[in-house]
Structure 1
Amino acid sequence: MIRFEDVTITYAEQPVLANISVEIPEGELCLVVGRTGSGKSTFLRAINGLVPHFSGGTLAGRVLVDGRDTSRFPPRELADVVGFVGQDPVAGFVADNVEDELAYSMESLGLPGDVMRKRVEETLDLLGLAQLRDRPLATLSGGQQQRVAIGAALTAHPRVLVLDEPTSALDPGAAEDVLAAVQRLVHDLGMTVVIAEHRLERVAQYADRALLLPAGEIGDVGEVLAAAPVAPPVVRLAQVAGWSPVPVSVRDARRHAASLRERLPEPATRNPAVAVPVLAARDVVVKYGDVQAVRGVSFSVGAGERVALMGRNGSGKSSLLWAVQGSGKRTSGTVSAGNTDPKSLKPAERRKTVALVPQQPSDLLYLETVAEECGQADAETGQPAGTCRKLLEGLASVPQDAHPRDLSEGQRLALVLAVMLTGTPDVLLLDEPTRGLDYPAKEALAKVLKNLGSAIVLATHDVEFVAEYATRVVVMAEGDVVADGPAREVVTSSPVFAPQVSKILGPWLTVADVEAAL
Structure 2
Amino acid sequence: MITFHEVTFTYPDAERPTLRDVALDIGEGELCLVTGRTGTGKSTLLGAVNGLVPRFTGGTLRGTVTVAGQRTDAAAPQEFAHLVGVVGQDPLAGFVTDTVEEELAYGMEQLAIDPGTMRKRVEETLDLLGIAELRHRPLRTLSGGQQQRVAIGSVLTTHPAVLVLDEPTSALDPTAAEEVLAAVLRLVHDLGTTVLIAEHRMERVLQYADRLLHLAGDGAVRDGEPAELMADSDVAPPVVQLGRVAGWRPLPLSVRDARRHAPALRRRLEGQLPPAPEPAGGEREPALDAHRITVTYGSAVAVREVDLTLWPGEVAALMGRNGSGKSSLLWALQGSGPRRSGSVTVAGTDPGQAGARRARELVGLVPQSAADLLYLQTVAAECAQADRESAATPGTCRALLDRLAPGIPDDRHPRDLSEGQRLALVLAVQLTAAPRVMLLDEPTRGLDYHAKRHFGRVVRELADEGHAVLIATHDVEFVAATADRVAVLGEGELVADGPTADVVCASPAFAPQVAKILRPLPWLTPEQVAHALTLQEAAG
Deviates more, 1:262-271 or 1:238-247: 262-271
Alignment of 1:434-513 (within 5 A): 434-452=444-462, 453=465, 454-506=467-519, 507-513=522-528
Provide TM-score, normalisation by structure 2.
Answer: 0.92
Q: Distance in 1 between matches of 2:312 and 2:375?
A: 32
Q: Does 2:307 match 1:287?
A: no
Displacement of 1:259 in angstroms is 1.2
Structural RMSD (CA): 1.8
Alignment of 1:377-392 (within 5 A): 377-378=386-387, 380-381=389-390, 382-383=392-393, 385=395, 388=398, 391=401
Opposite residue 16 of structure 1, the aligned amino acid is T
Displacement of 1:490 in angstroms is 0.4
Q: Distance in 2 between matches of 1:429 and 1:80?
A: 42
Displacement of 1:78 in angstroms is 0.5
SS for the counterpart of 1:277 is coil
- Correspondent of 1:183 among 166, 185, 188: 185
Q: In percent, how many aligned pairs have the same letter?
A: 61
Q: Distance in 2 between matches of 1:391 and 1:423?
A: 13
- In structure 2, the partner of 1:43 is 45
- Correspondent of 1:339 among 329, 338, 348: 348
Q: Distance in 2 between matches of 1:3 and 1:218?
A: 13
Displacement of 1:160 in angstroms is 0.4
Residue by residue over 1:329-377, the C-alpha shift from the partner in whole angstroms, topping out at 9 and shown as x without a partner, is: 1111111111111012233332222000001111101112334334443
Q: Distance in 2 between matches of 1:223 and 1:402?
A: 39
Displacement of 1:269 in angstroms is 6.0
Residue by residue over 1:411-446, the C-alpha shift from the partner in whole angstroms, topping out at 9 and shown as x without a partner, is: 433332333234432100000011111111111111
- In structure 1, the partner of 2:325 is 316
- In structure 1, the partner of 2:538 is none
Displacement of 1:7 in angstroms is 1.7
- In structure 2, the partner of 1:516 is 531
Opposite residue 461 of structure 2, the aligned amino acid is N
- Correspondent of 1:95 among 94, 97, 119: 97
Deviates more, 1:217-226 or 1:484-493: 217-226
- In structure 2, the partner of 1:3 is 3
Q: Distance in 2 between matches of 1:504 and 1:238?
A: 11
Alignment of 1:421-436 (within 5 A): 421-436=431-446
Displacement of 1:300 in angstroms is 0.7
Opposite residue 492 of structure 2, the aligned amino acid is G
Q: Distance in 2 between matches of 1:331 and 1:22?
A: 56
Distance 1:82 1:510, change over 3 A: same
Displacement of 1:12 in angstroms is 2.6
| Unpaired stretches in structure 1, ≥5 consecutive residues | none
Q: Distance in 2 between matches of 1:388 and 1:511?
A: 34
Deviates more, 1:456-465 or 1:265-274: 265-274
Deviates more, 1:376-385 or 1:136-145: 376-385
8 Å Cα contact 1:167-1:175 kept in structure 2: yes
Alignment of 1:15-414 (within 5 A): 15-213=17-215, 214=217, 215-264=220-269, 265-268=271-274, 270=276, 271-274=278-281, 275-378=284-387, 380-381=389-390, 382-383=392-393, 385=395, 388=398, 391=401, 394-395=404-405, 401-414=411-424
Displacement of 1:221 in angstroms is 1.1
Opposite residue 463 of structure 1, the aligned amino acid is V
Q: Distance in 1 between matches of 2:62 and 2:100?
A: 39
8 Å Cα contact 1:492-1:498 kept in structure 2: yes
Displacement of 1:22 in angstroms is 1.9
Q: Distance in 2 between matches of 1:279 and 1:299?
A: 8
Deviating beyond 6 angstroms after TM superposition, the runs of 4 or more aligned structure 1 residues are none
Q: Distance in 1 between matches of 2:411 and 2:361?
A: 27
SS for the counterpart of 1:12 is coil
Displacement of 1:174 in angstroms is 0.3
Opposite residue 514 of structure 1, the aligned amino acid is V
Q: Distance in 1 between matches of 2:403 and 2:229?
A: 27
8 Å Cα contact 1:142-1:169 kept in structure 2: yes
8 Å Cα contact 1:7-1:59 kept in structure 2: yes
Displacement of 1:29 in angstroms is 0.6
Q: Distance in 2 between matches of 1:310 and 1:66?
A: 42
Q: Distance in 2 between matches of 1:347 and 1:33?
A: 42
8 Å Cα contact 1:413-1:436 kept in structure 2: no
Displacement of 1:52 in angstroms is 1.1
Opposite residue 130 of structure 1, the aligned amino acid is A
Q: Distance in 1 between matches of 2:432 and 2:250?
A: 44
Q: Distance in 1 between matches of 2:23 and 2:454?
A: 32
Opposite residue 266 of structure 1, the aligned amino acid is Q
Q: Distance in 1 between matches of 2:61 and 2:380?
A: 28
Q: Distance in 1 between matches of 2:472 and 2:515?
A: 21
Q: Distance in 1 between matches of 2:394 and 2:170?
A: 34
SS for the counterpart of 2:57 is coil
Distance 1:5 1:349, change over 3 A: farther
Q: Distance in 1 between matches of 2:456 and 2:116?
A: 51
Distance 1:421 1:198, change over 3 A: farther
Q: Distance in 2 between matches of 1:100 and 1:484?
A: 39
Residue by residue over 1:49-105, the C-alpha shift from the partner in whole angstroms, topping out at 9 and shown as x without a partner, is: 111111112212211111222122222101000000000000000111111100000
Q: Distance in 1 between matches of 2:406 and 2:152?
A: 28
Q: Distance in 1 between matches of 2:446 and 2:4?
A: 25
Residue by residue over 1:147-190, the C-alpha shift from the partner in whole angstroms, topping out at 9 and shown as x without a partner, is: 00000011111000000100010000000110111111111111
Distance 1:141 1:165, change over 3 A: same
Distance 1:284 1:106, change over 3 A: same
SS for the counterpart of 1:210 is strand
Q: Distance in 2 between matches of 1:378 and 1:424?
A: 11
